[in-house]
Each structure stands twice: as C-alpha cells, then as structure tokens.
Amino acid sequence: MKYGFIGLGNMGHFMAKHCIDAGYEMIVSSNTVYQKELDEMVEKGAVKTDSNVEIGKSAERVFLCLPNEDIVEEVIKEIVEVEDSKVREIYDFSTVGPNFSKRQGKNGETKGYAYYDCPIAGGVIGAESGTLSIMIGCEEKEFEKVKEIVSPMGKNIMHAGALGSGSATKMFNNYLGGADLVACCEVMVMAKQLDMDVERLFSIINKSTGRNFATENAIPGFLKNRNFIPGFATDLFYKDINIALQTADELKLPVSIGPATLHAFGATRAMGFGKEHSIAVVKYYEALANVKVNEEKN
C-alpha cells in the first residue's frame, strides 16, 4: 500500500516523517520550505514529487493537511480526476467546515474513493512529538481501521461520529478556544488599567473557575516573556471562527459570541499582526486602552 502526503507545512512535515518512521511507503510533495526535512524523508525511503497529479497516480491512500477548503477541493480534484488515479482513500487533517466534509464524502461515494475528516489539535509541538489529538468523522464500523492508519501521528485518536463530525468537533473546539483567548486579552488590559499585578491575577484565576486552556498555557508564558512568535497564528483563528459563523448561517442559528471574537481577530489582522501568535489580540486592546500589559525582556 502506497501513501501520499500533500501539505508539508508547519505541522504536516512532522506528521509525514512519523509515518515514514512507522514504515509507510510514502510519496510526498517537494513544494515546501522544509527542504532539509524533505531530504531526510527521501533518505529514509520516501519518493518526492512536485506534482499532486503524480501522487494521485501513485498512492492508494492520501493524507491532506492544507490551509483551507478551496485548496482542499482543488487538490482532491487533481488527485482523483487524473487518468488512472489510484486514490481509494483520503484522510483530511485540514480544518474545514462539517458540511464541506459531508460534500466531499458524497463526492467520493460517486467517484469510487472514501473520504474521512480527521482534523487535528495539539499544534506544532504535538505534530513534532507525534502526540496530536485527532478527531475522526467516519462510520462506527470503520473507526478502528482509520485509527490504526493515522496512529503514527497522534496519541488521542477519537471517534467524533459520522462523516463531518470530526470537522464539527474541531470547529467547536477552536470556536471556544478563540473566545477564551480574546476574553483573556480583554482581562489582561483591564487589569493593567486597574494597576494590578497581571501575573498574580492569572495565577489566582488558574486556581479558580475562570481557568481555561489560554490561562493555563498561552497567558503565563506571554506574561513572563512578551513573545509573539507564531504557534497558532491570528490568521488561523480568524479563518476558524469564520468557519463556525458560516456554519451557523447555514443552520440559520443566530450567534453572538462568535462575531465579537471574529471582530477582535479581524482588527488584530488589520493592524498587521495576522502572522503573529494569536495572543497578539492583546495589542488591539492595548491600543484602545493606551496601555501596555508588559514589556519585552532583553
């Protein structure tokens, strides 16, 4: 069985390496800035190509880890519509909407391949260590097979439900995570305006009911070292919140938290901080309040 991997970005190149280490016969795209890592994959036996079409002609199972729905759809067309395509299964780790995943699944049924939505959480650190959380959308009877196939890349591999449920779970996870992060940035700036010790405040919150992933992970590090090196970038949160709002619109459900969260990320992007870590939202609130939560440490 040959595998293809398309999308060797910040996380994808680590994921592909884990698959190669697990003994998967891989063909990978050479269209990547991670040339050193790509060369290492080739040394371990991977075949590289600069053509998605060649992956479609060579691999029965294809892994995708791509930026958005438009690119996913374009790549799938390239690999399944090529003459003599060998693709029979597609495992999509991209963050896309649940209805998009359902449409891809139906397209696969008519064209002779299976599509599984397998979005991931855990960031670059999780990808590098092979400990990602992977949320699978598939039929119950298929889950154990899918779990085994993606297992080199993740530690917590969970069945979210039928096709589309994996994408929905990731969407809801990031919707909540984004809202929490924006709220934390608002609180940091308000606390600074009140002349509070912001580090002390969040140490108390982390022992109280206001704690969340942002208070326990992003905020303490940021307060000690004002660092905006991308982990999960502002642009990505903006995209993911948009997916949730588009889904709410399709469901004709009015929501209020999402638009406020999207506004904060959008304003931060407009200030030029889209490529920075999503904690850069604090800069937007600092500008409004004319204060600075903390200073860079030399």
**Residues paired with 48 in a beta bridge:** 28
Token readout for 28 is 């990978």
Closest CA to 146 of 65, 80, 29, 63: 63
Per-residue pLDDT at 54 exceeds 90: yes
What integer is the mean pLDDT of 61-87? 96
- Taking residues 133-154, what's their average pLDDT? 98
Domains and CATH numbers, the chain: 1-161 (3.40.50.720), 166-287 (1.10.1040.10)
In Å, how far from its chain's centre is CA 171?
Answer: 10
Residue 157 has pLDDT above 90, yes or no: yes
Burial 231-266 (b: 16+ CB within 10 A, else e): bbbbbbbbbbbbbbbebeeeeeeeeeebeebbebbb
- Whole-angstrom distance, CA of residue 58 vs CA of residue 9: 21
Is pLDDT of 202 > 80? yes
pLDDT of 180 reads: 98
Q: Residues 260, 285: contact at Cβ < 8 Å?
A: no
248 residue type, one letter: A
The residue among 142, 192, 190 whose CA lies nearest residue 165 is 142
State residue 94's pLDDT score: 96
Give the residue-averaged pLDDT of 163-188. 97
pLDDT, average across residues 188-208: 98
Q: Map the chain to HEC letters.
A: CEEEEECCCCCHHHHHHHHHHCCCEEEEECCCCCHHHHHHHHHCCCEEECCHHHHHHHCCEEEECCCCHHHHHHHHHHHHHCCCCCCCEEEECCCCCHHHHHHHHHHHHHHCCEEEECCEECHHHHHHHCCEEEEEECCHHHHHHHHHHHHHHEEEEEEEECCCHHHHHHHHHHHHHHHHHHHHHHHHHHHHHCCCCHHHHHHHHCCCCCCCHHHHHHHHHHHHCCCCCCCCEHHHHHHHHHHHHHHHHHCCCCCCHHHHHHHHHHHHHHHHHCCCEHHHHHHHHHHHHCCCCCCCCC
Pick the more confident residue, 38 or 193. Answer: 193
% the chain with pLDDT above 70: 100
260 Rama sector, left if φ>0, alpha if ψ -120 to 50, beta otherwise: alpha
Label residue 225 by pLDDT band (50, 70, 90).
very high
Confidence band, pLDDT 50/70/90 cuts, at residue 226: very high
The token pair at 162 is 């039928």
Q: Residues 252-278: pLDDT tens digits? A: 999 999 999 999 999 999 999 999 999
224 is catalytic: no
pLDDT higher than threshold 90 for residue 115: yes
Q: What's the rounded mean pLDDT across residues 37-63?
A: 93
Residue 297 has pLDDT above 80, yes or no: no
List 86, 170, 192, 283, catalytic entry: 170
As a whole number of angstroms, the distance between CA 159 and CA 153 comes to: 15
Answer whether 167's CB lies under 8 Å from 236's CB: no
- Is the pLDDT assigned to residue 298 strictly greater than 80? no
* pLDDT tens by residue, 56-66: 999 999 999 99
Q: Are strands 132-137 and 120-121 parallel, antiparallel or unpaired?
A: antiparallel
CA-wise closest residue to 205 among 187, 178, 226, 223: 187
